[in-house]
Amino acid sequence: MKKTVVLYPGLAVGHFVPMMQLADILLEEGYAVVAALIDITMEQNIPFAAAVDRVTASKPSITFHTLPRIHNPPTVTNDVQLLLGYFELMRRYNKHLHEFLSSLPPRSIHSVIMDSLSNVALDITKELGIPAYSFFTSNASTLAVFLQLPWVRTESQPSFKELGDATLNLQGVPPMPASHLIEEMLEDPESEIYKAMTNSLSKNLEADGILVNTFTSLEARAVEALTDPQFLPKSEIKMPMLLCVGPLVEDAAETKEKHQCLAWLNEQPEHSVVFLCFGSTGAGNHSEVQLKEIAVGLESSGHRFLWVVRAPLGDNPEKAFGVHADPDLHTLLPEGFLERTKGRGLVVKLWAPQVDVLRHKAIGAFMTHCGWNSILEGIMAGVPMLCWPLYAEQKMNKVFMVEEAEIGLEVVGWQEGLVKAEEVEAKVRLVLDSKERR
């Protein structure tokens, strides 16, 4: 009988997709793979539900098991309570996960691999005596920061928010401003969300190992720090085994009908197009004012562009997990912009096949929100990047890209809340006009 690896993914598309890429590797190694899914409806989280449908159809070798729905689940929306609601949801699902793992044949389970934000499930695997691994979908540099944060600040010291742009000097990573930490760590240290995030970060240390979606040659400094026995300040705390399992990048689309933008790219010269795309969730949507600034900058640059545009969220942040409105390009973009740039530029609504686009020979630059999946896709495609972080750990990723790996150039206007057209123009020209970019 094959040993079974049980995957316990989170609810974010950016976490689910690389875990399913990891499943392919496990299958090749001869394991049976079962994915235990939380019962979330299409109405509650459209991007995640659509990703599950896509993966279940394309990966028949993986067994998918949906855990029973819990009664009165906490609301999971894209607001300040997102993580608190998520942590509570995962805690309530522990009972169903326990029942499912107990139902599998005795001694058939090799291990459980869980999303790092779902690590409350470590209580269940420990109770059942099953080896368990935390799957960290961002990079080793971010992991190094996260694992040190609970020990960096003492009660008598200022909060990270009070430190502002003061420099944090942490092991394994370049110096970075305290303001670049994730928003939850910039809250009041006595707040519920700060304590919940700190507990979650520390919980990863209870795993038998931490799997990271990276590779050693890319992040040698961070990996060396994470594998140093003296990495954590308290000697009684031991670092779990670190396993670099990346790069886990989605395969190119195998659909019979190719997206219209690929046919357009076929007509463009090599390395002549800047591709602008800012993630798969509503959190990456720009305001109407920002969209117009980008448009003016692209038009003034004189360069070719492929731009994925979504409608602003406005006053409804919960739309981040719901239906994305079809953007009215003629309203959102400057008058006459589409007509004036026709042939030189292409604006795509909502979505484009990012892996296919980045690997196309016409792409010469990638303006990105610095999500780790997108960064890896850019790296594997060999495309220079323009770094425009928006949320989560993306500001930390930007530091790694610019200061450590030197694979990106910062679009600095994000720090003022609005990137002006002049900077968009200048940065696009700098990358596409540079003779040293490759």
* Residues that are catalytic: 15, 115
Nearest-CA neighbor of 203 among 293, 260, 121, 99? 121
Structure tokens at 214: 């990276």
Q: What is the 3-state secondary structure (H, E, C) of 124-180?
A: HHHHHCCCEEEEECCCHHHHHHHHHHHHHCCCCCCCHHHHCCCEECCCCCCCEEHHH
Residue keyed to tokens 């979505």: 351
The β-bridge partners of 242 are: 210
> What values do phi and psi take at 226, rounded to 5?
-65, -25
Q: Are 210 and 242 in contact (CB under 8 A)?
A: yes
Closest CA to 228 of 220, 131, 132: 220
For 48-83, give one letter per residue: b (16+ CB within 10 A) or e: bbebbeebeeebeebeeeebeeeeebeebbbeeebb
Q: How far, in Å, CA of 340 to CA of 368, rounded?
A: 25
In one-letter notation, the amino acid at residue 273 is V
